[in-house]
Amino acid sequence: MTGVLLNIVTVLVGTATGLLFGRLIPERLRQIVFYALGSCTIGFGAITTVDGYHQLSATQVGSFSALVLVISLVAGALTGEALRIEHRLEQLGQWLHDRLPRRRAGATDGSAGGVLARSDSGGTAAGADSTSTAAGAAAGATAPASSSHFAEGFMTASIFFCVGAMTFLGSIQAGLGDPSTLYLKSLLDGIAAIALTTALGIGVGFSALTIAVVEGGIALLAILLGDFFTPAIIGSLNLTGGVMLIALGIEIIGIKKLRVANMLPALLVALVLAVCLG
């Protein structure tokens, strides 16, 4: 569970940094850091893909490893697109945002727009593909009363950090003893927390509770089902998830929006194929 704990700590540290120094950090510095972390995500995804391929090739699946990857991603992406997973996550984010108390008219928060515009790509990196709607709504809103401001920060950050491919894949891997994906996610979330806190305040820090429940719950489930995850299943998940991480890195840098959330069913397809073939 060290990956989950680190993710919680980095969000808290990012929140504290955002409260103290967020408005002093130039936009160009935040941008170059996101570019660097996006590049790291692509590199880490490539390493995970290669490791998964070797793991899977060493099992009964053998020469079918490449076929598992292709079928998983294509079938999973088609399923996710048919179910419109990313669109529904965006709708969830908008619905949660709309349930918040309405902001009263007043002076606009001039910093919110610029901060959240850049943090949107970081949120995608952390696997929160639905956050562009919530963050965009926050960016254009007027200054809130303290209670609604806190609630919006908490709700927006919870969605930002806990909805996405990296959350699910990283938590499963962490439960199986490999927290490396959550380590990378922790860095991304810590930096995103600075940007979010600058715009939305201390409520962002309380999203650490949501991270503990969501990531900790998935990791605990993976621990309890540890015997079910054979080498073939682990290799299949790493192979497919690694390619998804590469896609996430491309989104972080801003090269292309690949709708990675719609690829989430690929993990389930990969698991089924590993069970059937292994």
| φ/ψ bin of 259: left (φ > 0), alpha (ψ from -120 to 50), beta (otherwise) | left
Residue 189, C-beta contacts closer than 8 angstroms, at least 6 positions apart: 7, 10, 11, 14, 126, 161, 211
Instruction: State percent of the chain over pLDDT 70.
Output: 77
pLDDT of residue 216: 93
List the chain domain ranges. Answer: 2-18+50-101+109-277
Q: Is-contact 69 239, C-beta < 8 A?
A: yes
Cα dihedral sign for 23, 29, 32, 34?
negative
pLDDT of residue 96: 63
Select from 162, 194, 172, 177 the least CA-distant residue to 240: 172
pLDDT of residue 142: 39
Length of the chain: 278
Among 145-159, 179-193, 222-236, the minimum mean pLDDT is found in 145-159
pLDDT of residue 97: 62
108 DSSP β-pair partners = 142
d(CA 30, CA 104): 30
Mean pLDDT of 143-158: 64
pLDDT in tens, 26-83: 878 878 877 887 888 788 889 889 988 998 999 988 889 999 999 999 999 999 999 9
d(CA 12, CA 172): 23
Q: What is the 3-state secondary structure (H, E, C) of 194-216?
A: HHHHHHHCHHHHHHHHHHHHHHH
**Residue 64 host element (H or E):** none
d(CA 152, CA 201): 9
Helices (H), 131-230: 131-139, 146-162, 165-175, 180-200, 207-224
Q: 171 in helix, strand or coil?
A: helix
pLDDT of residue 4: 94
pTM: 0.70
Give me 5's structure tokens. Answer: 């704990």
223, pLDDT greater than 80? yes
d(CA 254, CA 57): 33
Mean pLDDT of 126-150: 44
142 DSSP β-pair partners = 108
Give me 118's structure tokens. Answer: 């850049």
pLDDT of residue 111: 39
Mean pLDDT of 220-249: 87
